[in-house]
Structure formats: C-alpha cells, structure tokens
C-alpha cells in the first residue's frame, strides 16, 4: 500500500508537460497538422484524462502493488494501470514511409484485446504502449539500431506513427513493434530502407545499382482486386512504392459481386474515413506491399471526395445546399478536415511544415542521382475544377493567367525546387503528381479536370524548364485510369518539337493506368476496342507517343545515371485475386536527351498503340 501511495503522489508531482512524451512520439496525435494545437489532439488533456482514471483506480484498489513500476513513464510497464496491459492486437501489420537518409516513418496499429479471450470488453480509458526496434538483420540479432516507445489510444484510432532516427543512409532495415507490457507480443516484421544522402555521387546511390520505384494510382476497393500491388511486391524488385493518389475512394459502389463490398456509407466524418482506410488495409496484397518497402504517397481527389478543388467537390461545398448532400450534414470543410486527419493517422507520411496546414508537397533528394518532387495539384490550393454542372464556367477560364492548379506558394516552391535540383547537379528530376500534364484532345474536347484546364500554370512550368534549360525532368501522373506516354513540349508546338524524332522536347511524361478503377475509355473495354480509340489519340495528339486504355496495372521506373526506364505492367483480370499479368511496354529515356528514346518502346508493345505504328504502318 505504501508503494501505491508513493506512486500516486508521483503522478501528482510530475509535471504534466513532460508526461506527454510517449503520446507526442506518436505523430498520429499531431494529425492533421503539427503545431496547430487547436487542430491536433491535446496530448496534455489526454494525459490528464488517463491520470484521472488512474487516480480513481488507485483509490478504488488500494491493494494495488506496483512492484514493477520504477517511476513515472519508466521503461517497465508491467502491472502499471497507466497503460493497457491486457494484450494488444497488431490488426493491420506494419508500414513505413517517407524515407530520408537517416530516418524513416514506421507505422502500425495496436488495439487492446480482451484478457485471455474473455468476453470482457478491454478497458479503453488508458493508452496502449508499443515499442519499436530497427535492425539490419532479420532476426534482430545484435544491437538494435533505433528503438523507442510510444502511446496510442482511441483518439487516433489506435494508430502508431513514429520516426526511427539515427539510421545509416542507403541501407536496408528490418523493424518490428511489440507490446511494452508483454514484449513477446509482437507485430509482423517489416522491411524498409533509407535513401542516399543528398551529396552522394550519382553513381554511388543504392550501392551503384539502379534504383527502382513502383508507381500506382486509383485503387478502388469495390472495383477490383489489388493484384497490381501483389505483382509489384512479388514480381518486381521495387525499392520504393509511390502512390499518386486515389488510394481510397469515398463512394460505396457495388463490389459484392466480386467479394469487394465496402463497409459504411459515402465518406463524410472521421469515423467514415477511418473505417474505409481500415478496410482497404485488410487487403492482403496492399498489406504485403506496405510491409516490404517504404511508400511515398500524395492524395488526389477521392481521399476526400470526387473532383475536389480548394473549396468543394462534386457533391459538397460550404454553401447551404453544399452541406445538405450528407445525412450527417457535413459541409466540405468538415469533410476535408476529417479526411485529412484520417489520412495522416493511417498513412506512413511525414508532416512537412508546421506552419503550412494542408501541405503534403515535398521533395526527396536521393543523392545526386535525382530529386523526387511530390506535388499536390488537388487539395492544396487548386482553383475551381469541373464538377459536372459548372463545365461552361470552367471552359471559359482555362486560359486565365491568374488560375493555378497548385496555388502560388506551391508554384513558386516547385520552380525553386527544380532550379535547386539542377544547381546541385542532380541527374534526374522525377515529379510525382496527380493529373495528366500533356495536352490530350479526346473526342474533340479537353479534360476540364486535368492540366488542360490550367493551361497558364502548365505553360509557366514549361517556361521554367525551357528558360532555365533544366534537363532530365520526368513527370508522373495518375487519375485518368489509362496509360499515356508523351514527350514533354509546348502544346501544338510542332515548329520546335518534332514528334517523330523527339527533338525539341524538354522531358517526358509517364502517366499510368489505375490499380483497379474502370478505364476512362469505357468500363471493361476490351483491348481491340481500346486500341481503335488509341490509334486516333496518338494520331491527333502530337506529344503523345503511346496510348493504352484496356488494362488495369501499374508501372516501374528503374533509374541510374545513364538511363531512366519505365516498364508498364498489365493485369489480366482484377475481378479475382491473382498475379497474372505481363509487361505491356518498356520505355528508355537517356540522360541528357529530354525525350523518349527512339524507336519509342523499341518499336513494339504488348498492348496499346504507339504513334510510330500508326504513322509507319498506316491505318
């Protein structure tokens, strides 16, 4: 009893501010915005809540004998009433992301389970404590390279997001979480890696071997099985996985026919967004893909809602009518905040800038081999996009100089980042972003939801690249549910750019098809029908060198100092779980050439249509 009282007074005596360290180590509490106390979770008050529960437990249970508790927030939590010690379930395996040269974000989820399988509900009034360790060997023999402990609680949906620091650049690591109170209760083991330090010579990056990225977009659960993630994880040697957005969808759809019904309703509240992310992450292929490599992600519209822009989506905005769409009465801003918070809880992504609320645009300097620049052309500060009923309005403004898909702050940062990358002699500039950049005339019209509707912004980027002679820029895009490979040049400029030779271009765009979302050529369209449309598309669009509209899939980028190669993968059938697929096209970009190498794709592809086939072969 004496010990219990001593412990009780320690609780009272300890400064609350310093007590939150294990809460604060879990970045999920800062979601969605670091250092915006009014928007993030107040870990001091969560701590006070916990201490209050403990005080009651102490008074109710004076028999409590704290043999193991060496001090407030010490390292041994067994028997401590401050944390749940009845067992944890690591329900969603592990994930890692946003690798830097000496640190990486590690993610897991740990929920309290009923002690000994009883039906008694676990006590959720106290936090759960997990510890993590990082090592260079898969059996964790030898000293751990980085370790730590962090709390989680229902406030953050039991997610855990910690930064493992003090790592060695360009190194592969193994990591695992465990229950602080029962160290033998552990999560799966994840593999991850750091990237090279910015000053590493280009030919020394990744130990001198090419660096490979797998690139995804548009993974709609109810529309198909995530076979693309499985093939990328099991059949390629991708080092880092990139997702260009539409990682989840807010809609419900009808997936039951293929065993992919989604839970819940159209997403509007924090509960909704968490439930959807939770369900997506039960997919075995997605889980494995997260477990084996670090991810670098950006969101597109569907992480919030269809055709989002800075002040609304197709169905919601902050006007009276725009708040009525949802049964819960969520207006656009509430909805967006809920979506952003859940995204930061569930995704292994870093908070970029404490002072800039919505910012996920960020840059990774991977030695002198490349800069990987991730943009947000969707949620951050995008001027109005087409949401269906306003097409005429958007059509009238596509050429306005004062219109931006990125917002002025991000635009300036992007130009500076491109220049800085050139000035530091990085060989490649790979730009991961959401929507198709190249001008695409389709059936006589342009998309009002892609760069074609933000033409001055696109021209400013091309001006910056041409004007400053910035070479080796490769833009990536998702969103469109089809494959488009193009030389990067001013639209319609066949005076300076030659579509046959590629001379005059300033870079390349690789736009990729969806993991599962239906083709924009028509849901379920077969290869022959899609190719008929592709023949016209490559014919009328000067910059477009390959078009393919039938297959779901992904692509890889394999990069060294001399070449950047893109390999497109086509999945045979996403209506059931399988790894059937094939490489549909391979493209080479030689450093310094600023165009697709000729003959494009070696002159032949396994799916879709090359411009050279239409021109040479006739129709």
Binding site for ligand NAG (CB under 6 A): 89, 91, 113, 210, 231, 234-235, 312, 315, 317, 319, 321-322, 400, 402, 439, 455, 491-492, 558-560, 563, 565, 573, 575-576, 579-582, 588
Closest CA to 149 of 183, 126, 173, 122: 183
Q: How far apart are CA 428 and CA 410, in angstroms?
A: 20
CB of 579 to ligand NAG, least distance (A): 4
Sign for the pseudo-dihedral over CA of 161, 162, 168, 173: negative
Nearest CB to ligand NAG, comparing residues 78 and 575: 575
Nearest CB to ligand NAG, comparing residues 136 and 390: 390
Nearest CB to ligand NAG, comparing residues 70 and 284: 284
Nearest CB to ligand NAG, comparing residues 21 and 588: 588
Cβ pair 525, 484 in contact under 8 A? no
The b/e string for 181-220 (b: 16+ C-beta within 10 A; e otherwise) is: beeebbbebbebbbbbbbebebeebbeeebbbbbbbbbbb
CB of 190 to ligand NAG, least distance (A): 17
CB of 58 to ligand NAG, least distance (A): 29
Nearest CB to ligand NAG, comparing residues 75 and 402: 402
CB of 36 to ligand NAG, least distance (A): 27
What contacts 313, CB < 8 A, 6 or more positions away? Answer: 301, 304, 305, 306, 307, 332, 335, 387
Q: How far apart are CA 559 and CA 251, in angstroms?
A: 36
Nearest CB to ligand NAG, comparing residues 111 and 418: 111
CB of 47 to ligand NAG, least distance (A): 27
What contacts 389, CB < 8 A, 6 or more positions away? Answer: none
Helix (H) or strand (E) holding 49: helix 43-60
CB of 220 to ligand NAG, least distance (A): 17
Helix (H) or strand (E) holding 332: helix 332-346
Cβ pair 608, 546 in contact under 8 A? yes
Nearest CB to ligand NAG, comparing residues 317 and 483: 317
Nearest CB to ligand NAG, comparing residues 28 and 566: 566
Q: How far apart are CA 2 and CA 115, in angstroms?
A: 28
CB of 67 to ligand NAG, least distance (A): 27
Question: Rounded to the nearest 5 degrees, what angle is found at the Cα of 267, between the Cα atoms of 242 and 110?
Answer: 65
Nearest CB to ligand NAG, comparing residues 20 and 483: 483
CB of 398 to ligand NAG, least distance (A): 8
Closest CA to 204 of 94, 81, 369, 58: 369
CB of 450 to ligand NAG, least distance (A): 13
Q: How far apart are CA 528 and CA 549, in angstroms?
A: 10
CB of 497 to ligand NAG, least distance (A): 13
What contacts 495, CB < 8 A, 6 or more positions away? Answer: none
Q: How far apart are CA 526 and CA 528, in angstroms?
A: 6
Cβ pair 20, 44 in contact under 8 A? yes
Nearest CB to ligand NAG, comparing residues 46 and 232: 232
CB of 604 to ligand NAG, least distance (A): 13
- Residue 495's CB: how many other CB atoms inside 10 A? 8
Nearest CB to ligand NAG, comparing residues 71 and 467: 467
Q: Is 116 helix (H, G, I), strand (E, B) or coil?
A: helix
Residue 451 per-residue DSSP state: G
CB of 421 to ligand NAG, least distance (A): 19
Nearest CB to ligand NAG, comparing residues 191 and 575: 575
CB of 92 to ligand NAG, least distance (A): 7
Bond into 32 cis (ω within 30): yes
Alpha helices in 424-563, H assignment, sequence order: 455-467, 527-540
Closest CA to 348 of 214, 163, 187: 163
Look up residue 88 and give its two tokens: 């944890």
Bond into 87 cis (ω within 30): no
Q: How far apart are CA 116 and CA 417, in angstroms?
A: 55
- Residue 571's CB: how many other CB atoms inside 10 A? 25
- Residue 340's CB: how many other CB atoms inside 10 A? 23
CB of 387 to ligand NAG, least distance (A): 7
Nearest CB to ligand NAG, comparing residues 11 and 258: 258
CB of 384 to ligand NAG, least distance (A): 8
The b/e string for 292-313 (b: 16+ C-beta within 10 A; e otherwise) is: bbbbbbbbbbbbbbbbbbbbbb
Nearest CB to ligand NAG, comparing residues 204 and 573: 573
Nearest CB to ligand NAG, comparing residues 416 and 580: 580
For 413-440, what is the HEC assignment? HHHHHHHHHHHCCCCEEEEECCCCCCCC
CB of 109 to ligand NAG, least distance (A): 9
Nearest CB to ligand NAG, comparing residues 137 and 402: 402
């Amino acid at each position: 009893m004496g010990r219990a009282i001593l412990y009780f007074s320690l609780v009272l005596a300890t400064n609350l501010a310093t007590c939150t360290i294990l809460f604060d180590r879990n970045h999920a509490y800062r979601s969605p915005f670091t250092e915006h106390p009014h928007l993030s979770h107040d870990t001091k008050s969560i701590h006070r809540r916990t201490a209050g529960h403990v005080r009651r437990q102490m008074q109710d249970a004076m028999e409590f004998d704290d043999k193991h508790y060496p001090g407030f927030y010490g390292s041994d939590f067994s028997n401590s009433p401050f944390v749940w010690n009845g067992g944890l379930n690591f329900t969603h395996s592990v994930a890692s992301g946003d690798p830097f040269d000496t640190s990486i974000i590690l993610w897991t989820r740990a929920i309290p389970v009923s002690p000994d399988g009883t039906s008694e509900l676990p006590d959720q009034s106290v936090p759960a404590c997990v510890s993590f360790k990082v090592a260079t060997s898969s059996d964790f023999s030898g000293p751990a390279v980085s370790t730590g402990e962090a709390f989680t609680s229902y406030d953050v949906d039991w997610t855990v997001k910690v930064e493992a620091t003090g790592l060695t650049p360009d190194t592969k690591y193994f990591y695992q979480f465990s229950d602080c109170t029962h160290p033998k209760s552990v999560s799966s083991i994840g593999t991850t890696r750091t990237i090279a330090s910015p000053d590493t010579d280009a030919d020394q990056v990744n130990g001198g071997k090419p660096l490979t990225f797998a690139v995804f977009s548009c993974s709609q659960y109810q529309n198909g099985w995530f076979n693309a993630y499985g093939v990328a994880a099991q059949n390629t040697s991708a080092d880092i996985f990139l997702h260009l957005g539409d990682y989840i969808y807010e809609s419900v759809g009808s997936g039951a026919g293929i065993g992919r019904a989604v839970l819940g309703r159209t997403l509007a509240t924090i509960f909704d967004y968490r439930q959807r992310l939770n369900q997506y992450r039960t997919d075995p292929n997605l889980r494995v893909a997260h477990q084996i490599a670090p991810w670098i992600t950006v969101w597109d519209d569907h992480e919030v809602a269809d055709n989002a822009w800075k002040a609304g989506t197709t169905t919601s905005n902050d006007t009276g009518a725009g708040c009525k769409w949802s049964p819960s009465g969520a207006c656009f801003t509430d909805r967006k905040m809920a979506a952003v918070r859940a995204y930061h809880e569930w995704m292994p992504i870093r908070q970029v800038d404490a002072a800039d609320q919505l910012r996920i645009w960020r840059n990774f300097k991977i030695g002198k081999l490349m800069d990987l620049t991730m943009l947000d052309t969707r949620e951050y500060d995008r001027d109005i996009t087409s949401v269906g009923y306003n097409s005429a309005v958007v059509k009238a403004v596509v050429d306005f100089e004062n219109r931006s898909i990125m917002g002025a702050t991000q635009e300036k940062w992007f130009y500076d980042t491109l220049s800085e990358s050139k000035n530091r002699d990085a060989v490649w500039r790979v730009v991961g972003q959401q929507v198709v950049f190249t001008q695409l005339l389709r059936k006589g019209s342009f998309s009002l939801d892609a760069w074609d509707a933000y033409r001055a912004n696109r021209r400013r980027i091309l001006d910056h690249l041409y004007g400053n002679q910035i070479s080796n820029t490769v833009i990536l895009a998702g969103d469109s549910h089809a494959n488009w490979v193009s030389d990067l040049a001013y639209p319609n400029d066949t005076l300076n750019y030659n579509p046959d030779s590629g001379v005059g271009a300033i870079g390349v765009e690789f736009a990729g098809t969806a993991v599962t979302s239906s083709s924009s050529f028509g849901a379920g369209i077969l290869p022959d029908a899609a190719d008929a449309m592709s023949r016209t598309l490559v014919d009328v669009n000067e910059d477009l060198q390959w078009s393919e509209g039938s297959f779901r899939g992904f692509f890889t980028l394999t990069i060294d100092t001399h070449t950047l190669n893109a390999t497109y993968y086509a999945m045979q059938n996403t209506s059931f779980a399988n790894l059937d697929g094939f490489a549909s096209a391979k493209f080479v970009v030689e450093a310094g050439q600023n165009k697709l190498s000729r003959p494009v794709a070696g002159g032949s592809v396994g799916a879709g249509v090359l411009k050279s086939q239409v021109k040479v072969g006739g129709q």
